Structure 1
């Protein structure tokens, strides 16, 4: 765990809301110079605290892909099979989030796809490439109430 001081924590909260803020704009909110902010952000990236910066798109502007929640059950949790499944999920762009969970399902996935037909094709590939996946169940999101990846960083 990286030691984060109050300035780091303030910066992390701000850049999670808008990663396009300039060092000068961040300096208006944090009591540091723009150059000090640039050095801190560079260090936080190098340490892996800031893993990447992305653009959040408006789903309607790109054709409103449908969101599916998939619960996967695997037959075997052998390390090599689990590693292959994890790599497959990580490489698949349609899989927005993947969680290894407790309970009836082994994995919960958040998947975007243009329609049910393309989603079923994706899941057919998942099963063909990962035969130890026993079954999956699907829920279709009727609407998105909240979408985000902001982690609260205590001050």
Structure 2
């Protein structure tokens, strides 16, 4: 599917978790290279690091409420441990981001890896399963173009 060209007015925010930085930095690099490759100037991209995935929604909400962004890309990596802690974080973050997206009529891209092992995270951050940061940036570009052609809310 061919995407209409950007008009230069688009701004993108990327909220990325510091926790598991060896993984999230690769997701961020994938997202940045995809946006820049599509013609988005680096000056049109705001990157904010937060301590962990749990903190992503509050910063994503700030960007959404500022009405300065065309889309918010949320990147993180939650890896299962010995308890169910990961499940609570994953569910809360995913539901929060969905609510923020709908309440603000703004694409909110879910790039939170929810992996059983570090090996799975490595594979999804540029390994043999691709890079979720790239996928989220591509989806953000597609959604921004799509919403430009949809009736206003």
Structure 2 length as normaliser, TM-score?
Answer: 0.26
Of the two, which has the highest radius of gyration? 1
Structure 1 length as normaliser, TM-score?
Answer: 0.26
